[in-house]
Amino acid sequence: MKKTFIIFACAAFLAACDKTDSVKEITVSLQITTPAGVTTVPESYHVEFINYNDNSKVEKTAGADGKVAASILPGIYTISVSAEVLAQGFSVIYSGSLVNENIVTDGASYTIEVAVAKSGTLVFKEIYYAGCKTLSGTSYFRDQFFEIYNNSESVVYADGLCIGSLYTNLASANQPTWDKENAADYVFYQWLWQLPGNGTTYPVQPGESIIISQYATNHQAADLNPNSPVNLLSSEFEAYIANSTQHTDMSAINMELKYRASSYQAQQFWLSTVFGPALAIFFPADDTDLTELTTQVGSTAQGVAIPISLILDAVETVDNETKVQLKRIPVVLDAGATFVGATYVSKSVARKIKETKDGRNVYQDTNNSTNDFEVKDTPEIRRNGAGKPSWNTWGN
Amino acid sequence: MKNCLFIPAVCLLSVSLYGQEAAQPVTGYSGMELNYAQSLWFHTSNAAGIAVTPLRNYNILSAQYATVAGGYKLQQEGDRNRNMNFNTNGALLLGKFFLWGDFTFSDSHVTGATYNTNRYEPTSGMPYYVADPNKSDWKKQYYDMTLKAALPIWKERLVLGAKVHYTTKRAAKQLDPRATVHGYGILIKPSVVAKITHRHHAGASLWYQNTFDRNTFINSLTYHSEKIYIMKGLGNYSPGVVGGSGGIGVFYYPGNQYGGGLQYGVTGNNKALLLDITCATEKIEVFETPAKPQRRGTANNTTIAANLQLIRNGNHTHKITANAGQSATDGVEYVQEYDSRYEVNQWITIAEYVKSTYKRLWASLQYDLFMGNRYDYAWKAGIKTLYSNRQDEYLAPRSVFNAQNSYTELSAAKNLAIGASAKILFGLQLGYNLNLGGEYAYSGAEATSVLVTDFYPKDLSYLTSHYGKIGGSVNASFLTKSQSSINLHLAGQWLKPAGSPSDRFYLTAEVAYIF
């Protein structure tokens, strides 16, 4: 009896010892810095501490000194910093982030050096990746398109522009490690296409768009999918793979396929995942080698490494709100993510209009697609009156 | 297959009971009720104690249909539930061994349940589960097997005993987002009773219980992702989806409970008193995706309870039962990050905190008077009152859910003999619940979610209403031979809250063979 009591008491004691602390708010401080050589400093920064697990967001404003403190609950946070300065007729974007930072220590301090860049010249304006359903209820994804817009006040030549989707195919916490020095300074393409041209062949005027389609045809035709939301015959470019038995070579100009990962070698069309690809565009520098491949550690998968500094615009599209924190694109390029929320739902994401200047729409570009994009129930090319390049003589 | 192994054992037990105590057979529900009322140790955590106050031998084999309908309910309960239950149980004095066994199979169909995607028993108090607002049906089955045994008394001083309890269950939600549920639980509870003097007994029991639930999520519309709420308590949640590339993984709930009890009993001339004090601590962890476990929370529960029984046998039997207890659960959440290094690829726990607490307090007092003889009653009258207090708190951002109630019930039953071989038992219950207060206050980040605007407010309304209850039952027993009977049982209850058009009906029909 005595022994029983002792065992009972010991068990109760052990149970009492297994005590976890109750949660309490902690205070953290943030110092925002600008790169060496940057002389213009914003008067204030907008700072967000976002905990995606709790759906909570604490917003703060930092002054020109870049200092700010916040009281938050311990957790995994994305700290996002943004500011915009108008200078000499164009916007200068200051942006930076810390992503998936575990903040559990009271009094901890963090530093974010913001990147400083002019607002993009060519930007993704609308992305239709989710696909749609056919009349019989099967899935249809051949009508994907990417609209790229000249958001600047100057003509831009699209010649040589590269577009593609980055690793990983799906947004995931499980990101690969690349066998490359300073790998964090690069993005890695699994599909890479390049527009042709001699440098002045394809001018895109301010306010004009170019449409890049997976398959530049009228998808609403009876033999394809009358349920499709788009007719893409007027696309400027398409991702035609030579000798494809899946697509017919249409009037749109064919892009050059520069790279596709080995897992897509047998695929006769460019399917960007309907769950949401990570997309980026860039103009190669003179010394950029689009054929040089980098291998993943512990895998045979390879990708084309492109320096982050070359990227003109990048947009992280993900499955839904649960994947927003699973970043594939570096936060300096896109601090957020956008999504239509489901597959084959005939929806697209489109960039929001920031302002209209002399009849030309200027689209919001804060390098944070969570804020810059919105969902459209029906995809539409050249929405809001975007112009069509004069050299597109086949699209009426 | 495991379930099948137990059935013959219970049947064997049941068959062998026949004729063990032929002088005083249990031949109907009223006799069964009195049999249990008099076996004080049976109601404690100490199985060895059934040697001190043994049940009279009996066996019962029953089939039951039960249906529940009406809108006065918790949101996670069905608008309508239909159950088919098959049960056999029996008590046996086998030589000097005291045995009691029970086997139950239940098949149920729940219609119109909301805010539960993956829990077999959503109202059990586990704060970490998955919810969706789609009104869905559920199909459920469980097997429940229990064996209590007391060894022969050793040197007129000591009795060793044990209880073993095994349950297995499975369920499937019938509307997207869907889930299948599989689970089991096994309890091993050794115990001892020592005879201090002729009138005084002391007992002790220890137990270990292991439980495991595994939930798999799926959509029938595979191209469509269904939004879900990964619940953390009181309206706080993480967003999630079922289906698609980012769909939620398998949830599993391993649980371990350790407990112990101390008993003290005194017997006198036709009187007996028995006190049972128990304490148990249980830890149920919630993980997602076994191959790469991500912690979704842990519920640490400590329950302390006391049970006091007093009985006086004579021309009539008087019994008083008092219960009191407290259950306190800490909800632990984790700060985790995914280490994507090739050689690791796992979720790493950075920190853990108690983020919510759930406290239940209860006390009850019941008096029953059985008028008849020691083995059966002609009349029965009873009164019971129950106080309950629920205090839930999410610590930060602070949210609370409280409900306090006092319930009182009067009951009566009359046993009528119809000739020499039949009797009819009529029962009546009248109850009233007096709500003593309650509130739900939420201050989290998602004040417009349906959890905050619909789920918890409706549950609060249910848990903080005054309501009346009326119930009745009729049982007909037909003696087939001197020691067995066929019983037909019909019972109904109606709950009606004050100031609400909703109500709730309970109807049970059962046929049982007691032998």
Whole-number Cα distances in Å, B262 to A290, A324, B41, B47, B361: 77, 54, 12, 12, 20
Interface test with A, best of B130, B223, B248, B282 (most A CBs within 10 A): B223
Q: Is the pLDDT of residue A153 over 70?
A: yes
Biggest CA–CA distance in chain B, Å, is: 82
**Prior bond of B167 cis (ω within 30°):** no
Q: Where do the DSSP E strands lie in B29-96?
A: 58-69, 80-94
A60 in the same domain as A168? no
Taking a C-beta distance cutoff of 8 angstroms, is the pair B43, B89 a contact? no
Give the pLDDT score at A19.
76
Taking a C-beta distance cutoff of 8 angstroms, is the pair B232, A23 a contact? no
- Percentage of chain A lying above the pLDDT 90 cut: 61
A325 in the same domain as A209? yes
A64 in the same domain as A101? yes
Cα separation, A336 vs A325, in Å, equals: 8
B130: closest CA among B72, B181, B182, B71? B181
Cα separation, A170 vs A190, in Å, equals: 12
Distance from CA of A53 to the nearest CA of B (A): 5
Query: What is the number of other CB atoms lying within 10 angstroms of the CB of residue B294?
Result: 16
Q: Which helix (H) or strand (E) holds A361?
A: strand A360-363
A168: closest CA among A321, A271, A278, A257? A278
- Percentage of chain A lying above the pLDDT 70 cut: 94
A57: closest CA among B353, B337, B450, B444? B444
Structure-block tokens of residue A189: 């393409």
In terms of CA atoms, which chain A residue is nearest residue B449? A55
Cα separation, A232 vs A238, in Å, equals: 10
Give the pLDDT score at B83.
96
Name the domain count of chain A.
2
In terms of CA atoms, which chain B residue is nearest residue A139? B223
CATH number for A100: 2.60.40.1120
> Which of A54, A322, A326 is opposite residue B241, by nearest beta carbon?
A322
Q: Is the pLDDT of residue A6 over 60?
A: no
A314 in the same domain as A226? yes
Contact A73 B396 (CB under 8 A): yes
Distance from CA of B278 to the nearest CA of A (A): 10
Contact B354 A23 (CB under 8 A): yes
Give the pLDDT score at A146.
97
Whole-number Cα distances in Å, A26 to A20, A112, A191, B232, B315: 17, 19, 44, 21, 69
Distance from CA of B355 to the nearest CA of A (A): 6
Q: Is the pLDDT of residue A366 over 80?
A: yes
Give the pLDDT score at A36.
85
Give the pLDDT score at A99.
81
Biggest CA–CA distance in chain A, Å, is: 97
Taking a C-beta distance cutoff of 8 angstroms, is the pair A354, A120 a contact? no
Cα separation, B213 vs B119, in Å, equals: 9
Cα separation, B383 vs A368, in Å, equals: 67
User: Does residue A43 lie within any of the structural domains?
Assistant: yes
Cα separation, B211 vs B147, in Å, equals: 18
**Concatenated DSSP letters for B377-397?**
EEEEEEEEEEEEEEEEEETTT
Using alpha carbons only, how large is chain A's radius of gyration in Å? 24
Whole-number Cα distances in Å, A284 to A198, A314, A344, B360: 14, 15, 33, 66
A226 in the same domain as A129? yes
> Which of A1, A7, A170 is opposite residue B206, by nearest beta carbon?
A7
Give the pLDDT score at A326.
82
Structure-block tokens of residue B34: 């009195």
Categorize the per-residue pLDDT at A309 as very low, low, confident or very high, splitting at 50, 70 and 90. confident
Taking a C-beta distance cutoff of 8 angstroms, is the pair A140, A132 a contact? yes
User: Which of A118, A143, A161 is the C-terminal boundary of a domain?
Assistant: A118
User: Which of A118, A136, A170 is the C-terminal boundary of a domain?
Assistant: A118
User: Which of A60, A91, A118 is the C-terminal boundary of a domain?
Assistant: A118
- Tell me the chain B residues in contact with residue A50 when contact means C-beta distances shorter than 8 Å: none
Of the listed ranges A178-182, A264-268, B484-488, B510-514, the one predicted with least confidence: A264-268
Contact A175 B238 (CB under 8 A): no
User: Does residue A55 lie within any of the structural domains?
Assistant: yes
Cα separation, B86 vs B3, in Å, equals: 13
Categorize the per-residue pLDDT at A7 as very low, low, confident or very high, splitting at 50, 70 and 90. low
User: Does residue A80 lie within any of the structural domains?
Assistant: yes
Q: Which of A249-263, A296-310, A315-329, B254-268 has the highest mean pLDDT?
A: B254-268
Whole-number Cα distances in Å, A6 to A12, A13, B206, B302, B402: 10, 10, 12, 19, 37
Q: What is the mean pLDDT of residues A29-51?
A: 90
Interface test with A, best of B193, B245, B256, B289 (most A CBs within 10 A): B245
Q: What is the mean pLDDT of residues A258-280?
A: 90
User: Does residue A2 lie within any of the structural domains?
Assistant: no
Q: What b/e string do you get for A256-278 counting C-beta neighbours within 10 Å, with b at 16 or more?
A: ebbbbbeebeeeebbbbbbbbbb
A271 in the same domain as A137? yes
Taking a C-beta distance cutoff of 8 angstroms, is the pair B483, B515 a contact? yes
- Tell me the chain B residues in contact with residue A1 when contact means C-beta distances shorter than 8 Å: 192, 194, 202, 204
- Tell me the chain B residues in contact with residue A76 when contact means C-beta distances shorter than 8 Å: 335-337, 350
A304 in the same domain as A373? yes
A213: closest CA among A249, A242, A187? A249
Q: Three-class SS of residue A303?
A: strand
Contact A76 B237 (CB under 8 A): no
Give the pLDDT score at B17.
30
A380 in the same domain as A333? yes
- Percentage of chain B lying above the pLDDT 90 cut: 80
Say what the ipTM of the complex is.
0.79
Q: Is the pLDDT of residue A43 over 70?
A: yes
Q: Is the pLDDT of residue A12 over 70?
A: no
Enumerate the H helices of B102-155 as residue ranges: none
Cα separation, B92 vs B104, in Å, equals: 18
Cα separation, A256 vs A40, in Å, equals: 41
Cα separation, A272 vs A276, in Å, equals: 8
Structure-block tokens of residue B438: 């309650």
Using alpha carbons only, how large is chain B's radius of gyration in Å? 25
Distance from CA of B142 to the nearest CA of A (A): 31
A92 in the same domain as A76? yes
A132 in the same domain as A88? no
Residue A73's contacts (CB-CB under 8 Å, 6 or more residues apart) are A23, A25, A26, A51, A54, A56, B396, B397
> Which of B204, B300, B345 is opposite residue A174, by nearest beta carbon?
B345
Look up the domain containing A308 and give its range.
122-385
User: Does residue A13 lie within any of the structural domains?
Assistant: no
A90: closest CA among A63, A121, A66, A115? A121
Give the pLDDT score at B12.
35
Distance from CA of B145 to the nearest CA of A (A): 27
pTM: 0.83
Q: Three-class SS of residue A17?
A: helix
Q: What is the mean pLDDT of residues A148-153?
A: 92
A245 in the same domain as A207? yes
User: Does residue A75 lie within any of the structural domains?
Assistant: yes
B423: closest CA among B481, B515, B486, B380? B486
Query: What is the number of other CB atoms lying within 10 angstroms of the CB of residue A26?
Result: 17
Taking a C-beta distance cutoff of 8 angstroms, is the pair B115, B132 a contact? yes
Contact A23 B395 (CB under 8 A): yes
Contact A25 B240 (CB under 8 A): no
State residue A241 phi and psi, 5-degree precision.
-100, 125
Dihedral of alpha carbons A131, A135, A136, A137, sign: positive
Could you give the strand order of the β-sheet that contains A348-351, starting from the edge strand earlier in sequence? A253-254, A237-238, A209-213, A145-150, A122-128, A348-351, A373-376
A325 in the same domain as A190? yes
In terms of CA atoms, which chain B residue is nearest residue A105? B351
Pairing mode, if any, of strands A209-213 and A145-150? antiparallel
Under-70 pLDDT residues of chain B: 1-23, 223, 245, 482
Q: What is the DSSP letter of A37?
A: T
Give the pLDDT score at B173.
96
